[in-house]
Amino acid sequence: MSYCVSRFHTVRRRTVEVKVGSVGVGGANPIRVQSMTTSDTQDIAATVQQSIALAEVGCEIVRITAPNVAAAKCLKDIRARFTAAGFGHIPLVADIHFLPSAAMEAVEHVEKVRVNPGNYADKKKFAVKEYSDADYERELQRLHEAFSPLVLRAKTLGRSLRIGTNHGSLSDRIMNRYGDTPLGMVESALEFLRIAESHGFKQLILSMKASNPKVMIQAYRLLVQRMAQEDMHYPLHLGVTEAGDGEDGRIKSAIGIGSLLLDGLGDTIRVSLTEDSVYEIPVAQAIATKAMSLWAAGRDKPPLADSIDPYHFVRRETATVHLAEKITVGPEQPPRVITRTTLAELANPQSVLRQPQLLKDTPAEGLLVPITGTADLTALKPAGPSFLVLELASTLTVADLKAHAADLPAGTVLLRGFSPAESVALTAFAQFARECRLTLAAEIDPADFPALADTLHQLGDTPFVFTLSGMGAAGHAVGGYRQLAEALRRIGSRAPIWIRNTAATAVRPGPDFLSKLLESSFLSGSLLCDGIGDFVSIETESDPVRATKLAYNVLQGAGARISKTEFVACPSCGRTLFDLQTTTQRIRAQTGHLKGVKIAIMGCIVNGPGEMADADFGYVGGAPGKINLYVGKNCVQYNIPQAEADARLIALIREHGKWTDPV
């Protein structure tokens, strides 16, 4: 049973409607946008003020942390003042992690309560224990007794609940049986879901959050598959937790949330940024608008699937292609970055694109230039360590290329589209490329592969790369590239795939940089998380340097290629024990040159140790004014005064051989 109707078109998953106060989530409702306050909940005035600020910029559901009973009691006055300010229609959600007593107080005052199944009624000791079936059943009975009072009270009061699993806070019971895996996340949620259903309670929303978009995507897919097997159709709350700030935080969120929305999954979203919460709303709104624009077009599409295992990441196996000096595509090689430029810029020896050292760890490895006629071929200049990609006009023939073969630098890639009627031309271009040790990037719509299959099969993998100029026959470009990968599999081709982000591949194109960032994250990020993609180009951004850096940032956000320090930083909330924004910026300024090092900056210990599972080092609030430092999951220094913590973190990085001095 698949997790979605079609991986080639967006067909919205059918769910029951859950009412959060007067706001419907799931069913026929639009994607709901939500966020969270960052103030101390017991500062009632500040929390109300932040709630109003969120509502005024379009936040439809506001979440507030309630870490203890005292904070939960404050929700009564917060709700009353928020309503008095004219926002009675905006529901409030209490965020509960550890204390059932706080949840029982909060449910009296707000429309929805979120519980973390890894922490609720469980004390994480990171203990290794073999659970027998009888032991496990006793643990489940204990959970039933702890969670049932909240379920029954919510049912009586007409509240809703979110079972919000976090990758970073799975219980010892789950960790010992299922490991730190998407399956473990799903089983953690299902334990609580079954308890709620045993009481006939259906007002439930679920989430599977992680800081790693791949883990998050796989967990949601697996959850939907498992729920479908048990005839459960609850709405989903989507989000990438600890996404960070700035461009990186927006990219990670767009990759994780956008990938799932394009598959028809997701009913309410939160973009978690280490910034003021009001800045999350326009990003979430833009993501939701792009996804909803596809719903109507894909409504009546038939079920379609491909051969990719959507629950386990495996990179598509490709043949090796040698391009410029030291640039190879194929097994064990990272996806390569291609940047669009012009002949004039290529001829400029001072161009930053021709001096990769000026872009440090983010060079333009391939330079894409339009070739409109034979005169352009004579104007070509070697691109130094980069390889050239020539976008050939359809009027150019193989004879034209042969006449100018001496002008084509070694490693050049020829980009040309081919229709079903052009099998002869396809053969001629491929043979010319092979004779001259060039590579042919063929634009072929997946629907046209049957007509060209015999020709492609005879020509083999070399010297091919395949790409698309638009969406093809699919409902969106992600579906188009998935169809392309499937078409290549069917003819036995392991040729590399080039993901081109162009105006024609955009879901809902916009001129602003945020739209371009989201579109490239949707397309390239989604495909990279499925293991598809050997080249990436961002051609919607006219500034070549900005386009190049955006491509590298998308690759890093998808975990496909690391070109700088990776930061995992949680958004602020009422539990945070220091100023996350200034701290993150300060640590980034000191450690941002450490390529390949992953640093987690966490406001408290709720998700800290777990979300740092694959981080090298962690900087975590342990108490007011005190910082705990981690290596992986292990806390190695406790309660350091914050004034000393930055220097101690750098010393720890040095101690473990990960430090290099900035250039």
- Whether residue 608 is predicted with pLDDT greater than 60 in this model: the reply is no
Q: Which residues contact 10 (CB under 8 A, 6 or more apart)?
A: 261, 262, 263, 264, 291, 294, 295, 297, 298, 475, 476, 479
Q: Among 188-202, 283-297, 604-618, name the most confident range.
A: 188-202
> 571 falls in which pLDDT band (50, 70, 90)?
low
pLDDT of residue 178: 87
pLDDT of residue 171: 83
pLDDT digit string, tens, across residues 458-494: 998 888 999 998 876 678 999 999 999 999 999 999 9
What average pLDDT does this structure show over 118-140?
Answer: 76
- Tell me which of 86-90, 261-265, 337-341, 382-386 is least confident: 382-386
pLDDT of residue 201: 98
What average pLDDT does this structure show over 542-549?
Answer: 93
pLDDT digit string, tens, across residues 195-225: 999 999 999 999 999 889 999 999 999 999 9
Tell me the pLDDT of the chain averaged across its residues: 90
pLDDT of residue 462: 82
- Whether residue 351 is predicted with pLDDT greater than 70 in this model: the reply is yes
> 232 falls in which pLDDT band (50, 70, 90)?
very high
pLDDT of residue 449: 93
- Whether residue 296 is predicted with pLDDT greater than 90 in this model: the reply is no
- Tell me which of 257-271, 289-303, 333-347, 539-553 is least confident: 289-303
What average pLDDT does this structure show over 37-47?
Answer: 94
- Tell me which of 92-101, 436-445, 504-513, 610-619 is least confident: 610-619
What average pLDDT does this structure show over 283-308?
Answer: 82
Whether omega before 30 lies within 30 degrees of 0, making that bond cis, reads: no
pLDDT of residue 576: 63
pLDDT of residue 121: 73
- Whether residue 614 is predicted with pLDDT greater than 70 in this model: the reply is yes
What average pLDDT does this structure show over 428-434?
Answer: 96
Q: How big is the chain, counted in residues?
A: 663
- Bridge-based pairing state of the strands 439-443 and 464-467: parallel
What average pLDDT does this structure show over 106-124?
Answer: 88
Record the pTM: 0.92
| Percentage of the chain modeled with pLDDT above 70 | 94
H or E, element range at 451: helix 449-459
> 527 falls in which pLDDT band (50, 70, 90)?
very high
| Residue that wins the pLDDT comparison between 638 and 267 | 267
pLDDT of residue 299: 63
- Bridge-based pairing state of the strands 336-340 and 464-467: unpaired
In 26-171, alpha helices (H):
44-56, 69-82, 100-106, 133-157
Structure tokens at 611: 């979300």
Crossing angle for the helix pair 69-82 and 44-56, to the nearest 10 degrees = 50
277 with 50: CB under 8 angstroms? yes
Gap between the Cα atoms of 332 and 70, Å rounded: 54
656 with 630: CB under 8 angstroms? no
Structure tokens at 313: 């990441």
- Tell me which of 333-337, 424-428, 581-585, 628-632 is least confident: 581-585
- Whether residue 130 is predicted with pLDDT greater than 80 in this model: the reply is no
What average pLDDT does this structure show over 402-419?
Answer: 93
> 620 falls in which pLDDT band (50, 70, 90)?
confident
User: All domains of the chain, ordered by start, with CATH?
Assistant: 18-295 (3.20.20.20), 335-557 (3.20.20.20), 566-655 (3.30.413.10)
pLDDT of residue 297: 66
pLDDT digit string, tens, across residues 146-203: 999 999 999 999 999 999 998 878 888 888 888 889 999 999 999 999 999 999 999 9
Q: Rounded to a whole number, what is the distance in angstroms from the first to the last CA of the chain?
A: 53
pLDDT of residue 474: 72
- Whether residue 20 is predicted with pLDDT greater than 80 in this model: the reply is yes
What average pLDDT does this structure show over 644-651?
Answer: 91
- Tell me which of 182-186, 358-362, 393-397 is least confident: 358-362
What average pLDDT does this structure show over 425-429?
Answer: 96
What average pLDDT does this structure show over 368-381?
Answer: 92
Structure tokens at 418: 């081919």
